[in-house]
Amino acid sequence: MTALGGHLSAHNPLSSPQCAPAPLHHRGVSVRIGIHPVLEALRARSPLNRVLIARGASGPRLQEIIDLCRELSVPVRFEPRGALDRIAGASTHQGVVALGAPRQLAELDDLPAGACLVILDGIEDPHNLGAIIRTAHAAGADAVGANCGNGIDGYIPICRRLRAATDRPLWLKANAGLPEIVDGRPVYRTSPEYFAARTLDLVKAGVTFVGGCCGTTPAFITAIKQALQAAKRG
């Protein structure tokens, strides 16, 4: 299997500014900071090592977090507020921080025999991108993909350009719009319904496989599936 994957640059005329990192990281694990990000991680069943709540903090949404942790068997620890301050840094933690479970990284030796991946980052010239795609195509690439760096609207013209450069399957994962930084955290404004509706335009532009990158949640994937099924029936 040969595949070409890319992350389009902020300076690429095909792209828009890079997304901000979400979640943050602390000592090698992902960190969700604040009530909404922690609730979102719990509802999405993201793997969490533990949830830290500041001693003395209370409220219905914190209680909801505690109840979800009990339901999902996620350990809860009540720590001095200063401990959460050190983890959150400049971010406002609202009395709660979640530490993600450490991820096991794959090694290059784990790739299937004969697999070839061309991974690109910081491509600034669309002509260079086209040349690389054509070269990978000639070498037998099975698929071409790109993710991150742009919202669903921006990926529609990108898809058209990629489709013009290759007849191989296209794999694209857009962000839920471009992030706004609010209280030190990235906030994405695109709704699952809008993302799914624009996915139909992505299909018309020639995409083969579609998914979501930064800011998307399981609700986005569900909305995409429903939109595609409705289009197929109609």
Cβ atoms of 53 and 78 closer than 8 Å: yes
**Which residue type sits at 184?**
G
Question: How confident is the model over 119-151, as pLDDT tens digits?
Answer: 666 666 767 777 887 787 777 777 888 888 889
Torsion of the alpha carbons at 82, 86, 88 and 94, rounded to the nearest 10: 0
Tell me, yes or no, if the pTM score tops 0.75: no
Residue (of 226, 59, 122, 90) closest to 234 by Cα position: 226
Token representation of residue 135: 């070269």
**29-100 belongs to which CATH class?**
alpha beta
Q: Is 178 helix (H, G, I), strand (E, B) or coil?
A: coil
The CATH number assigned to the domain with range 2-20+106-233 reads 3.20.20.330
The pLDDT, as a whole number, for residue 226 is: 93
Question: How confident is the model over 180-228, as pLDDT tens digits?
Answer: 877 777 788 899 999 999 999 999 988 988 989 888 988 999 999 999 9
CA quadruple 175, 176, 179, 181: dihedral sign = negative
Cβ atoms of 214 and 175 closer than 8 Å: yes
HSE toward the beta carbon, residue 91, CA cutoff 13 A: 25
Distance CA 44, CA 230 (A): 24
Cβ atoms of 32 and 21 closer than 8 Å: no
List the domain boundaries for the chain. 2-20+106-233, 29-100
What residues are paired with 3 via a beta bridge? 117, 143
For a pLDDT cut of 70, what percent of the chain falls above it? 76
The pLDDT, as a whole number, for residue 201 is: 92
Residue (of 114, 135, 133) closest to 171 by Cα position: 133
